[in-house]
């Protein structure tokens, strides 16, 4: 089966500024793909090109086999979108909005079921301008589901929401995944990506700097397992000197990189032999967030600029 989304060599320039710079990825049908990146990295530009809302400068893009820009009208019947900063008509209620979309799409979707799914039943008769941020976003989600789309695009759907609303939206995304639909999610919450997605791509300065499953990215770009002591800085010096391991210290904390988890035994023995006053120890592994912060941070420091790590 062909990929639901295929992107090859995508470039978008605005007035000489390159917002998206030769991006490649593909999303198999029925999977959740998380597109990560700091603000201004090119996430929204990319997703808007996929949705047919923005024209690309060059490159190949196919969504459900269609060219999003030139086949926009046909594509829009088959995809569901929550744009970033979703807005709706101020004086219209969620139920009226869903009825409106049903008429526009000739859809048979059940409004009650949609309202129940996004947990907006109790606000179905409130006007849009009286809804909270989370309720507005839930309406956006319900509207995007009205045409029973094959591919969903959610552009930062939970930004600025309280934890309850965020969880409600996560539940809907899980439901979509269970139903075998394809979801393209942009977010800058790493937790969200780790929790919901099958595959992740990290975009920075318009380029994909890492792609794969969360575990693959951590394995490729993470620092491996580390042993942490609550100890004076002198312990770091002692361990580096006696074992030749990479050890760092920050106030009250000493961290040692382990090439292999079983090296921990050797390091602990050495620490005991040092006679220095260390108390507790623990092991630590990079989360996706650690990897993300480090990759994006080092790139911004200039260390990796110009390079495209894969």
Partner 1 sequence: MRPRRIGADLRIVARGYYRNPAALFFSLIFPLILISLFGLIFSASGSGPVTLEVLNEDSHSALAAQFLSALNNTTIVKVQVVPTASVTPSGFSAWLGQQGDPVGLVIPSDFTTNVTADRPVNLTVFANPQDAAAGGEALFAVSGVANAFNLAEAHGTPVIQVPPSKGVGSEIYSYIDYLIPGLIGFSILTSPMFAMVETTSSYRKEGLFRQLTLTPLTRGEWLASRILWYVVLTFGAAAIMLGIGVGVFGAHVSVGLGILPFLLVGPFFFVSLGMLAGSVAPTPESAAVIGNIITFPMMFLSGTFFPVSEFPSGLQTFAHVLPLYYVIDGMNQVMLFHNLARASTDLLVVVVAGVVVFLLAIRLFRWRDD
- Taking the complex as a whole, the smallest distance from the CB of residue 61 to partner 1 amounts, in Å, to 15
| Shorter beta-carbon distance to partner 1: residue 72 or 309 | 72
CA distance 138 to 166: 10
Comparing CB distances to partner 1, the nearer of 75 and 291 is: 75
Report, in Å, the least distance between residue 297 CB and partner 1: 32
Site for partner 1 (CB under 8 A): which residue of 25, 101, 184, 229? 101
Give the dihedral of Cα atoms 144, 154, 120, 78; nearest 10 deg. Answer: 20
Residue labelled with tokens 């977010």: 187
Q: Using CB under 8 A, which of 42, 83, 94, 134 touches partner 1?
A: 83
- Dihedral sign, Cα of residue 141, residue 144, residue 145, residue 150: negative
Q: Which of residues 113-142 bind partner 1 (CB under 8 A)?
A: 127
Encode 169-194: b = buried (16+ Cβ within 10 Å), e = exposed: beebbeebbeeebbbbbbbebbebbb
Contacting partner 1 (CB under 8 A), which of 51, 119, 156, 194? 51
For residue 148, give the nearest of 199, 198, 108 by alpha carbon: 108
Interacting residue with partner 1 among 73, 108, 301, 302 (CB under 8 A): 73
Under the binding rule (CB under 8 A), the answer on residue 308 touching partner 1 is no
Q: Supply 279's token pair.
A: 């108390």
Which of these ranges, 74-82, 116-124, 201-209, 224-232, lies near partner 1 under the rule CB under 8 A?
74-82
Assigned token pair, 151: 């591919």
Which residues contribute to the site for partner 1 (CB under 8 A)?
A: 51-55, 72-73, 76-77, 79, 81, 83, 85-92, 96, 99-101, 103-106, 127
């Amino acid at each position: 089966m062909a990929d639901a989304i295929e992107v090859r060599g995508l470039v978008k320039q605005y007035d000489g500024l390159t917002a998206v710079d030769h991006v490649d990825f593909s999303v198999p049908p029925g999977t959740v793909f998380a597109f990560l990146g700091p603000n201004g990295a090119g996430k929204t530009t990319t997703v808007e090109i996929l949705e047919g809302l923005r024209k690309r400068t060059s490159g190949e893009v196919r969504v459900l086999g269609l060219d999003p820009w030139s086949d926009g009208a046909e594509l829009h019947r088959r995809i569901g979108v929550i744009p970033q900063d979703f807005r709706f008509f101020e004086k219209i209620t969620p139920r009226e909005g869903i009825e409106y979309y049903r008429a526009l799409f000739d859809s048979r979707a059940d409004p009650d079921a949609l309202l129940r799914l996004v947990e907006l039943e109790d606000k179905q008769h409130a006007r849009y301008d009286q809804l909270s941020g989370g309720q507005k976003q839930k309406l956006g989600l319900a509207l995007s589901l009205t045409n029973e789309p094959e591919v969903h695009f959610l552009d930062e759907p939970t930004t600025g929401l309280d934890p309850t609303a965020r969880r409600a939206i996560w539940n809907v995304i899980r439901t979509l995944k269970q139903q075998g639909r394809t979801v393209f999610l942009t977010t800058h919450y790493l937790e969200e990506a780790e929790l919901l997605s099958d595959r992740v791509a990290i975009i920075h300065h318009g380029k994909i700097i890492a792609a794969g499953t969360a575990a693959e990215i951590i394995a490729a770009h993470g620092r491996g397992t580390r042993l942490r002591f609550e100890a004076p800085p002198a312990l770091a010096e002692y361990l580096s000197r006696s074992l030749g391991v990479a050890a760092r210290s920050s106030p009250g904390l000493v961290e040692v990189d382990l090439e292999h988890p079983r090296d921990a035994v050797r390091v602990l023995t050495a620490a005991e032999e040092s006679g220095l006053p260390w108390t507790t120890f623990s092991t630590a592994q990079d989360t996706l967030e650690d990897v993300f912060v480090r990759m994006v941070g080092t790139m911004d420091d200039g260390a990796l600029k110009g390079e495209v790590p894969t």
